[in-house]
Amino acid sequence: MPGRNHLFVPGPTNVPDRILSAMHRPMEDHRSSSFPALPKGIFEDLKKVFKTEAGQAFVFPATGTGMWEAALVNTRSPGDKVLSYRYGQFSHLFIDTARRLGLDVEVIEIPWGEGAPPDQIEARLKADTRHEIKGVLVVHNETATGVTSDIKAVRQAIDAAHHPALLYVDGVSSVASLPLEVDAWGIDAAITGSQKGFMLPAGLGILCMSPRALAARDSAKCPRAFFDLGDQIRANATGYFPYTPSIPLLYGLREAIDMLFEEGLDNVYRRHHRLAEGTRRAVAAWGLSLCAKAPKWYSDTVSAIMVPAGVNGAEVIDVAYRRYNLALGAGLSEVAGKLFRIGHLGDLNELSLLGAIAGAEMAMRDVGIQVTLGSGVGAAAEYYRSTAAPLAGAASAPVAPRAATAEKGTSRVAVGA
């Protein structure tokens, strides 16, 4: 199909040309004397992304799933009790990983569309007077339902219960797109991957551990080999890795961090919020609702849009893909068929997102959903127009319209181009 594929799944996200170019390079010796400058700079700058001075960042050739495992095996022993909340497919898989690693996971079921409940966490931890619960596992942004949880409030709940449990946060679809503060929010393990906010292909697992989490390695008995942070700490100290790193992905990560810093992390968060809000205006104009049940849970990286009863959300996705070259996210597990998702994270702007909203609108009509064509696009466009930054250095004199110039007999060359 001519034209670009419009990739609007919530990861992998679009890889900017700058990052593609940065990764396009010959292999090099990862044990050379000049190599350490690259990882050392990345480790230091990742700490700024995670907003930590005390913590330490790690990069593995892995994915977010691998970082769930790395965070747990380096801090826990088989049979350790941890508390978790299931409110979507990714919190479910985090729980599943912990169980497969031999942890005793207490799961509290939360309706899909809601987020982590700080009051319940506080009550449960207060009841745990013997401090048997060693960790609290929370997914910051549940990509399956488009729900963002309040991690600061979760930390406050743990502190209010005067409980020593470590706080493990899955930030796979939030880090580098939504505010996440390791030090200020008392996060002990922040977990992510390369293919979302970092705008890279999948292939890097990125982890940030607090000093308390690193100290827990001393007593943690879970077997670990590839994911042993001890090997990383020793090798990373000199700018190397305990194995062959993915050199193109490291150069890509370097470029991605540079791009995030050039825009400014706060501006990156603001951009995501604004783009998400336009998408939400479109959903409201369609007369549809989000899976997220209240505004406090609305995700600025992904909108999960409920389709009317009797319609299969998978059909919207299939038509969008085959007819309009638009990739939308599917409903997963419990919400399969009930929704489709628009990923709005990473490298995107108003017009690219308006393309996705237009494609979703057309595909919905094609499968029989009675949305008015243009309604979502119009609502989002109006929001983007009315909230656009003023034009810096705009000319004070109005620019003469081209047609008017032509009428005055200016040559074709002057009005063309």
- Start-end of H helices in 50-110: 64-73, 89-100
For residue 394, the Cα-to-chain-centroid distance in whole angstroms is 35
Which of 342, 341, 376, 345 has its CA nearest to residue 358?
376
Residue 104 near residue 82, CB atoms below 8 Å? yes
63 sits near ligand PLP (criterion: CB under 6 A): yes
Cα separation, 337 vs 327, in Å, equals 16
Cα separation, 257 vs 265, in Å, equals 10
193 sits near ligand PLP (criterion: CB under 6 A): yes
Which segment (23-31, 166-174, 259-267, 324-332) binds ligand PLP by CB under 6 A?
Answer: 166-174
Judged by CB under 6 A, which of 65, 74, 145, 301 binds ligand PLP? 65
Per DSSP, the three-state class of 82 is strand
Judged by CB under 6 A, which of 8, 11, 324, 343 binds ligand PLP? 11
207 sits near ligand PLP (criterion: CB under 6 A): no
For the bound state, the minimum distance from the C-beta of residue 37 to ligand PLP, rounded and expressed in Å, comes to 27
Lay out the site mask for ligand PLP across 116-155 (x = CB under 6 A, - = otherwise). Answer: -----------------------x---x------------
Size of the site for ligand PLP (CB under 6 A): 12
Beta bridge partners of 342: 303
301 sits near ligand PLP (criterion: CB under 6 A): no
For the bound state, the minimum distance from the C-beta of residue 61 to ligand PLP, rounded and expressed in Å, comes to 12
For the bound state, the minimum distance from the C-beta of residue 11 to ligand PLP, rounded and expressed in Å, comes to 5
Judged by CB under 6 A, which of 23, 38, 133, 172 binds ligand PLP? 172
C-beta contacts of 232-236 below 8 A and 24+ residues apart: 232/58, 232/60, 233/56, 236/39, 236/43, 236/58
* Cβ neighbours, 10 Å, residue 127: 9
Cα separation, 261 vs 409, in Å, equals 49
Q: Which is nearer to ligand PLP, 148 or 379 (CB)?
A: 148
For the bound state, the minimum distance from the C-beta of residue 65 to ligand PLP, rounded and expressed in Å, comes to 3
90 sits near ligand PLP (criterion: CB under 6 A): yes
Return the residue matching tokens 């929010």: 185
List of residues contacting ligand PLP (CB under 6 A): 11, 63-65, 90, 139, 143, 170, 172-173, 193, 202
